[in-house]
Amino acid sequence: MKIKFLGACSTVTGSKYLLTSKSGTKILIDCGLFQGLKIHRLKNWNYFPEKPGEISAVILSHAHIDHSGYIPKLFKRRLPR
């Protein structure tokens, strides 16, 4: 397995960790919004660094907004345009 940190780097908000198995299955642990200073909040508008349609599941550690608030945006980007 590989783990990739997609959020909560240099801050405690925006928790997102992508686990990828040897077979290529991708599981996102947490899917949070960045909060606090404007420099962090602006990250919520960045494009998701992975293809949302390739993520098989999202697992939440808990439901605080900094761990779950990005889910609607992730789901919207997962749908075909």
pTM, full prediction = 0.86
pLDDT in tens, 6-21: 988 777 889 999 999 9
Look at residue 10 in the predicted model and tell me its pLDDT.
74
Render each residue's pLDDT in the chain as its tens digit; 81 residues: 999 999 887 778 899 999 999 999 999 999 999 999 998 899 899 888 899 999 999 999 999 999 999 999 998 877 665
Q: With contact defined as beta carbons under 8 Å apart, do 40 and 14 qualify?
A: yes
Q: With contact defined as beta carbons under 8 Å apart, do 28 and 59 qualify?
A: yes
Q: With contact defined as beta carbons under 8 Å apart, do 16 and 58 qualify?
A: no
Look at residue 79 in the predicted model and tell me its pLDDT.
64
Number of H helices, E strands in the chain: 3, 4
Q: Residue ranges of the domains in the chain? A: 2-78
